[in-house]
Amino acid sequence: MTPLIEVRGVGKTYGSVIALRGVSAVVNAGEVTCVLGDNGAGKSTLIKVLAGVHRHDEGELLVDGRPVRFSSPRDALDRGVATVHQDLAVVPLMSVWRNFFLGSEPRRGPFLDRGKAREVTRRALADMGIDLRDVEQPVGTLSGGERQCVAIARAVHFGARVLILDEPTAALGVKQAGLVLRHVARARDRGLGVVLITHNPHHAYPVGDRFLLLKRGRALGCHDKSEIGVEELTRQMAGGAELAELAHELRGVDP
Amino acid sequence: MTPVVAEVSGADERLRASGLLDRLVPRPEVGALLGALVVFAFFSVVTERFLSPAGVATWLDDASTLGVVAVAVALLMIGGEFDLSAGVMTASTALVTAVLSTRLGWNVWWALLASLLFALAVGALNGWLVVRTGLPSFIVTLGTFLALQGLNLGVTRLVTGTVQVSGMRAAPGYESAGFVFASTFSLGGTRFPVSIVWWLVATAVASVVLLRTRFGNWVFAVGGSAAVSRAVGVPVRRTKVVLFTATAGAAWLVGSINILRFTSVQANQGIGLEFQFIIAAVIGGCLLTGGFGSAVGAAVGALIFGMARQGIVYANWNSDWFQLFLGVMLLAAVLVNNALRRRAERVRR
Ligand SMILES: Nc1ncnc2c1ncn2[C@@H]1O[C@H](COP(=O)(O)OP(=O)(O)OP(=O)(O)O)[C@@H](O)[C@H]1O
Ligand SMILES: [Mg+2]
């Protein structure tokens, strides 16, 4: 089976900042690839390459086994790759339904099909466990978690083959985080390839099939679930020995 | 055990029954409508002629040629950009039309087509430069503004030896073109210029495009956040280029109305209009930062302009007072817009 997406030794620099170097990974249909790493490790940079926001400077990006260079996010979307970005999720001044369908507006004749748009938005959000008061309100008036859910619901709705989520659960409550993970699992079971970025190994481990660990722009390793347990994952994410030291220190100050 | 209260389906219990005011306040044009009512009432009381049919026709006419471009500028501003060249563009297009039909003997319709193409090309160039360089449109279109101003004077002087082109009336095709752009129609015994119709059409088209089409959705999006728009697949550059081109097209319409009505054009005409367009759009609820505003609002902004400018004439006041009025109006609008925006947005960070 050829992977939906594969990266081979990709690198990306922002001016003089080397954000990513020599990272390889695969995204298979029906599997969840988790990307883990510290702040600034290059996780968002990697998925921006996958989503067509940035072009990689070195290495290869393959879709269905063929090398491509996405010319724009539209290009990626047209190939069924939908992304929830950490920092590029929604336009605050626009209403919820306008945001939801932004870039993929439903039309009847030359005009927007506003009735359908509102209805689909409401239903998709209800699916996320968000019971919105009013889909006409500007997204800026929503809570951080609600806003995040709008972006996730949109990606789940439009992601035809690959779903990329950059820290989707960071701002969410326990119930919504659970629902998002359930959607991730559901998308995987429908045969989508999912890329999930998170800082929380307890979110990553239950749904993940493969774990890519990044540190300072390089891959520390890429493990199959069978090769690594949740403790080991946590230990590697936190930098192993440093964590033990920290635990010791914290115990010390605790009365 | 406490009984579980059944949730009433349908309305959300967290949604306070909203009053009419609450529902109206987030609409960008509400402030302008209130302002228009006040200005209208004021001059109706202060002067006799303001409400006379001829008076009404005069201030509507004044508002109309301002409004046509203001509406397009409003869309551009919602899309997050400015166009300082829109004012001189009204003169440039008039000059192109006039030179081609009076000096080269072109049929007026062909001359109009040529000046339209000229306008669209300059508009597209504005847009292309802005999206290509990523420079603020303020600077880029300031450059176009100066360049056009220089061209207007330089070319006119070269061709005619003076700074004006006249004699449109004798040009072939003047009658039919004049009918479309510069005739008058009778309503209840008063003659109204057809520019008012163009103004209403421009407003209606812009409003429908903005609120009811996919392109309109993109306009709000690219002004609200270009980066987010791009990430979700909106063609940001194309949207902006189209907006600049449409603005130049609106300026062409007004240039054509002017040249056919007055049959002559001064090479230094149109300077300063660019700010009037922007002011009308801001009075109409457009945010200077983009992403919020309305076409109807800009049309009402132009109406306020027309009413005040002519009202001051009818009241026999010095026209200096108009500038004072304008300044106060603009400041009030910006303050109101800011408050409205905060209400509409209430962004939590
Ligand atoms: N547009 C940019 N211009 C310059 N440097 C950038 C840019 N975007 C990211 N970087 C740098 O690249 C590095 C990787 O950033 P990236 O956003 O990929 O990290 P991340 O792993 O997503 O971190 P976090 O967990 O905090 O989201 C950082 O050092 C960051 O400062
Ligand atoms: Mg990140």
Residues B164-202: tens digit of each pLDDT: 999 999 999 999 999 999 999 998 889 999 999 999 999
Distance from residue B233's CA to the centre of ligand 1 (Å):
22
Residue B246 pLDDT > 60: yes
Residue B295 pLDDT > 90: yes
Distance from residue B224's CA to the centre of ligand 2 (Å):
22
Among residues of chain A, what percentage have pLDDT more than 70? 94
* A45 pLDDT tier (thresholds 50, 70, 90): very high
Section A238-254 average pLDDT: 64
* Atom 5 in ligand 1: residue holding the nearest Cα: A14
Section A166-189 average pLDDT: 84
Among A85, A93, A107, select the one facing B292 at the smallest CB separation. Answer: A93
Residue B8 pLDDT > 60: no
Best of A13, A17, A18 to mutate for ligand 1, by most ligand atoms within 8 A of CB?
A17
Best of A14, A36, A166 to mutate for ligand 1, by most ligand atoms within 8 A of CB?
A14
Asked if B329 and B114 touch (Cβ cutoff 8 Å), the reply is no
Structural domain contains residue A152: no
Contacts B341 to A, Cβ<8 Å: 93
DSSP string, A161-181: SEEEEESTTTT--HHHHHHHH
* B3 pLDDT tier (thresholds 50, 70, 90): very low
Residues B130-139: tens digit of each pLDDT: 999 999 999 9
The top-scoring range by mean pLDDT among A74-88, A110-124, A186-200 is: A110-124
Rg (CA), chain B: 22
Task: Count how many domains chain A has.
Answer: 1
Kindly report the nearest CA distance between residue A22 and chain B, in angstroms.
Answer: 24
Section B317-330 average pLDDT: 87
Contact (CB<8Å) A138/B291: no
Cα separation, B131 vs B118, whole angstroms = 20
- Angle (CA) A67 A72 A76, round 5°: 60
Structural domain contains residue A86: yes
Among residues of chain B, what percentage have pLDDT more than 90? 78
* Residue B7: predicted pLDDT: 40
Among residues of chain A, what percentage have pLDDT more than 90? 35
Section B280-309 average pLDDT: 93
Tokens of A22: 């020599």
Structural domain contains residue A237: yes
Cβ-defined contacts of A244-252 (< 8 Å, 24+): none
Range of lowest pLDDT (A17-31, A212-226, B115-129, B142-156) = A212-226
Structural domain contains residue A184: yes
Relative to the CA of A45, which ligand 1 atom is closest? 18
Asked if B208 and A114 touch (Cβ cutoff 8 Å), the reply is no
* B307 pLDDT tier (thresholds 50, 70, 90): very high
CATH number at residue A59: 3.40.50.300
More confident residue, A129 or A103: A103
Structural domain contains residue A220: yes
Q: Tell me how far the alpha carbon of residue A141 is from its chain's centroid.
A: 23
* Residue B136: predicted pLDDT: 95
Range of lowest pLDDT (A57-61, B258-262, B344-348) = B344-348
Residue with tokens 């520019």: B195
DSSP string, B272-293: THHHHHHHHHHHTT--TTSS--
Section A42-55 average pLDDT: 92
> Which residue range is the domain that position A165 belongs to?
5-90+160-251
Contact (CB<8Å) B345/A93: yes
* B2 pLDDT tier (thresholds 50, 70, 90): very low
* Residue B13: predicted pLDDT: 58
Residue B16 pLDDT > 70: no
Range of lowest pLDDT (B58-62, B249-253, B327-331) = B327-331
* B107 pLDDT tier (thresholds 50, 70, 90): very high
Helices (H), chain B: 20-24, 30-46, 53-78, 86-98, 108-133, 137-160, 174-182, 195-212, 214-224, 226-231, 236-262, 273-283, 295-314, 320-345
DSSP string, B36-57: HHHHHHHHHHH-SGGGSHHHHH
pTM: 0.89
Q: Which site among A47, A83, A87, A94 would you substitute to test the B interface, given the most B Cβ atoms closer than 10 Å to its Cβ? A: A94
Q: How many CA atoms lie within 13 A of A186 on its CB side?
A: 12
Residues A151-175: tens digit of each pLDDT: 888 888 887 789 999 988 887 888 8
* A224 pLDDT tier (thresholds 50, 70, 90): confident
* Residue B26: predicted pLDDT: 62
Q: Is A110 on the interface with B (CB under 8 A)?
A: yes
Residues B194-220: tens digit of each pLDDT: 999 999 999 999 999 999 999 999 999
Residues in B whose CB is inside 8 Å of some CB of A read: 12, 14-15, 26, 212-214, 216-218, 220-221, 224-225, 227-235, 291-292, 341, 344-348
Cα separation, A5 vs A164, whole angstroms = 11
More confident residue, B328 or A229: B328
Cα separation, A213 vs A168, whole angstroms = 18
- B29-340 has CATH 1.10.3470 classification: yes
Residue B14 pLDDT > 90: no
Structural domain contains residue A115: no
Amino acid of residue B156? T
Q: How many CB atoms lie within 10 A of CB B272?
A: 9
* B9 pLDDT tier (thresholds 50, 70, 90): very low
